[in-house]
Amino acid sequence: MSQPIYTVFAEEYRGLRPRAPVPELEIRFRRFTSLNTTIRLREGRLIVRLSDLLEYAPESVHRAIAHILLAKLYRKPIEPIFSDRYRRYTQSEAVSKQAERIRQTRGRKVLTSPKGHHYDLDEVFESVNRRFFHGLLGRPTLTWSAHVAKRMLGHYDAAHNTIVVSRVFDRPGTPRYAIEYLLYHEMLHLKHPVTVRAGRRCVHGPAFQAEERLFPELELAKEYLKRL
Ligand SMILES: [Zn+2]
């Protein structure tokens, strides 16, 4: 649903250095206990380490971080709108509380796997696969998010062929159509890779949207996601 972080970094790189080819990117979220971020260039690869506190930040915040880190690295001026946005986000009450909570629970290992308490993502994937794709889609790695994310409900990470689903869906009150729709949407990303036309990225193109409308409970599911 949101842009993957790789895309955000590549776009911000192009914004800062329009004539330079985007280097290979390696971006990892680390279990820092603070909002630590690092960037370095090694053998032509850009290596970025971000605190996992930032993993489910809104895309606009990811964009701000990308801009700030890249501008620093290439000694370009940092746009105040980005530094303001980042500072506001990290100083917001929600984020400081989350940081505090994580500091307290660090050390307890969070196991991520497709099997949740109420839904097994592998099982939901296969049933959606049979129902809408004749069982033809290869199953990527499916995993529940480590935290109960409400902004990033699901996303397909093409670089790692992984679909991450927010743990917010793993509870008894979640209607089956909601989690099926979420997976269906991410599976359509698998089937319809991002295209670039006239320099513009097309994530949810016409073919994607037409196929998405084939989901019978589309309106119900969208309504449910909006309420989360
Ligand atoms: Zn999407």
Q: Where are the domains of the chain?
A: 5-106, 121-227
**What is the architecture, at CATH level 2, of domain 5-106?**
2-Layer Sandwich (3.30)
- Give the pLDDT of the chain (228 residues) as one tens digit per residue: 567 899 999 999 999 999 999 999 999 888 766 677 889 999 999 999 988 888 888 899 999 999 999 999 999 999 999 999 998 888 887 777 777 776 666 544 444 678 888 999 999 999 999 999 988 888 888 999 877 777 789 988 877 788 999 999 999 899 999 999 999 999 999 898 888 777 777 889 899 999 999 999 999 999 999 988
For 169, counting Cβ atoms within 10 Å of its Cβ (0-12 exposed, 13-18 middle, 19+ buried), the class is: buried
Ligand 1 centroid, distance to 110 Cα (angstroms): 26
Backbone angle region of 43, left / alpha / beta, with phi > 0 → left and psi within -120 to 50 → alpha: left
Ligand 1 centroid, distance to 54 Cα (angstroms): 20
Residues 60 and 152: their CA atoms lie apart, in Å, by 12
* Per-residue confidence (pLDDT) for residue 62, from 0 to 100: 94
**What is the architecture, at CATH level 2, of domain 121-227?**
2-Layer Sandwich (3.30)
* Per-residue confidence (pLDDT) for residue 109, from 0 to 100: 41
Ligand 1 centroid, distance to 2 Cα (angstroms): 7
Ligand 1 centroid, distance to 225 Cα (angstroms): 13
Fold match, 5-106 / 121-227: yes
Ligand 1 centroid, distance to 74 Cα (angstroms): 31
- Helix/strand/coil for 177: helix
Q: Contact 69/50 with Cβ under 8 angstroms?
A: no
Ligand 1 centroid, distance to 3 Cα (angstroms): 8
Distances (CA, A) of 106 to 5, 38, 101, 186: 24, 21, 9, 30
* Per-residue confidence (pLDDT) for residue 151, from 0 to 100: 74
Ligand 1 centroid, distance to 208 Cα (angstroms): 9
* Per-residue confidence (pLDDT) for residue 111, from 0 to 100: 47
Ligand 1 centroid, distance to 7 Cα (angstroms): 13
